[in-house]
Copies of this chain bind each other. A is one copy, B any other.
Amino acid sequence: MSLDRRSGCPINLSLEVFGDRWSLIILRDMIFGGRRHFRELLNGSMEGIASNILADRLKRLLELGMLTKADDPSHKQKAIYSLTEMAITLVPILAHLGAWGRVWLPVSEELSIRAELLEKGGPPLWDKFMDELRHEHLGMPLDTPADATVRATLQAAYEAVVKRRAPGESTAA
């Protein structure tokens, strides 16, 4: 995973940033899953990322300016990863990607409810979500503090589908 600079085309350069199978998965888990630590990303990843790949991609995303890294005051060995504005502005792309996948690919119902809500919410919801992410990761003040965050709303919808489909059973989030 090097940075080729094969051409100055915006689409090509974007692909060189996250044109691989893991970078966007990591960002997805940070954005929608609220994960901030190495172990959270490692164990929480639905697709089962390997630890060396995760370490490599985090380093790469740091170098690219998509993430920042800071010490966790609660634990000397813990590191907290934060999204930068560069990464936060991927939300519309992730929304489109999810919407497209929902139409054309064999998505599972419980995992696509988030994409469905995000698509229905449209740009206003994306803006609200990005505002929340800026607050969470960059320490910026919230434009309009809401009672229920976008992430919590999406998560609740996901859990409702899981519960409906498998009543009485418990499933990992």
- Chain A residues proximal to chain B, CB less than 8 Å: 5-17, 19-21, 24-25, 28, 46-48, 65, 86, 89-90, 92-94, 96-108, 110-112, 115
Contact = CB atoms under 8 A, between A and B. Distances in A.
Nearest to A17: B105
Contacts of A108: 7-9
A53 to B, nearest CB: 13
Contacts of A21: 15-16, 19-20
Nearest to A95: B96
A24 B94 CA distance: 16
A89 B100 contact: yes
A16 B10 CA distance: 21
A28 B11 contact: yes
B97 A8 contact: no
Given A47-B6, A96-B96, A14 B89 contact: no
B93 A13 contact: no
A61 to B, nearest CB: 13
A102 B10 contact: yes
